Amino acid sequence: MSANAQADLLRELVSDYPSLQQIPGGVIFSDPPRGRMLLIDQTKVELVENNPNSPFDAIDRMHGVFQKAVPVVQYSAPFFVRIDGAGTIQAMEGLNPTQVLLQHSPPRQEWGQIGGACTFAGLRYIFRSEDGGQRDMHVEPLFAQPDKFYVMVLSVPGSGSPTLDDAMGRARREAEIIERLSDRVVSDLTSS
């Protein structure tokens, strides 16, 4: 990435990301107090936001950043937006997430003879969308707080979008799907 492109990015993004670090072939902008990081190189723009109050607000902020950054680095369509979502879901009182998951995926006795006692289990589901996209979902007990489930979903579209606005609209819809899917899977696991 040229020095001129880096300077243009700095002018556009300094109010959102006060810290700049050069890396081989690109730059990292960050705002540590807000838990945000933006990496830009020749092949991609990657934005991370930890602990947003609302995933939809985070997507709106990301859209604004992408609208500033993408023209400077001159990426062209199609645009792909990968969504990684992670969060916790509180178990009903008296319900033990570890036991629920072990019931759905019990270890075999033979495994314990090799590896020792199995004390936790996690589930993984992979879903395919009609366009060839993939949602990779992990459900585990939250070890730091044993009365919660930890759910992580990685969503990758099967096809690109013709415009950045279309890609971000798709990202917003995907965040809604991830939220509904996470709630439904955990609800069904705990009710059976």
- pLDDT, tens digit, for every residue of 82-97? 899 888 898 888 889 9
162, 107: one domain:
yes
Of 37, 60, 76, which marks where a domain is finished?
Answer: 76
The answer, yes or no, to whether residue 161 has pLDDT greater than 80, is: yes
51, 91: one domain:
no
Q: How sure is the predictor about 155, in pLDDT bands with cuts at 50, 70 and 90?
A: very high
Provide mean pLDDT across the span 162-189. Answer: 93
- Residue with tokens 């830009």, as numbered in its chain: 40
149, 104: one domain:
yes
Q: β-pairing, 83-90 with 148-156?
A: antiparallel
Number of domains in the chain: 2
Please give the share of the chain, as a percent, with pLDDT higher than 90: 44
Of 50, 76, 102, which marks where a domain is finished?
Answer: 76
123, 179: one domain:
yes
4, 59: one domain:
yes
The answer, yes or no, to whether residue 162 has pLDDT greater than 80, is: yes
38, 113: one domain:
no
93, 66: one domain:
no
Question: How many residues are present in the chain?
Answer: 192
82, 70: one domain:
no
pLDDT of residue 183: 93
The answer, yes or no, to whether residue 16 has pLDDT greater than 70, is: yes
Q: How sure is the predictor about 45, in pLDDT bands with cuts at 50, 70 and 90?
A: confident
- Evaluate whether 12 touches 72 at the Cβ level (below 8 Å): yes
pLDDT of residue 184: 94
Which candidate, 180, 188, 182, 171, places its Cα nearest to that of 49? 171
Domain that residue 9 falls in? 1-76
136, 191: one domain:
yes
CA–CA distances in Å: residue 120 to residues 98, 111, 139: 6, 13, 11
Spatial separation of the C-alpha atoms in residues 85 and 151, rounded to whole Å? 8
pLDDT of residue 5: 75
Indicate the range of 12-16, 17-21, 58-62, 144-148 predicted with least confidence.
Answer: 12-16
Provide mean pLDDT across the span 182-191. Answer: 92
pLDDT of residue 1: 65
- Evaluate whether 141 touches 149 at the Cβ level (below 8 Å): yes
* pTM score of the predicted model: 0.82
Spatial separation of the C-alpha atoms in residues 17 and 108, rounded to whole Å? 50
14, 106: one domain:
no
Provide mean pLDDT across the span 150-167. Answer: 92
pLDDT of residue 42: 81
65, 121: one domain:
no
Of 59, 76, 93, which marks where a domain is finished?
Answer: 76
90, 72: one domain:
no
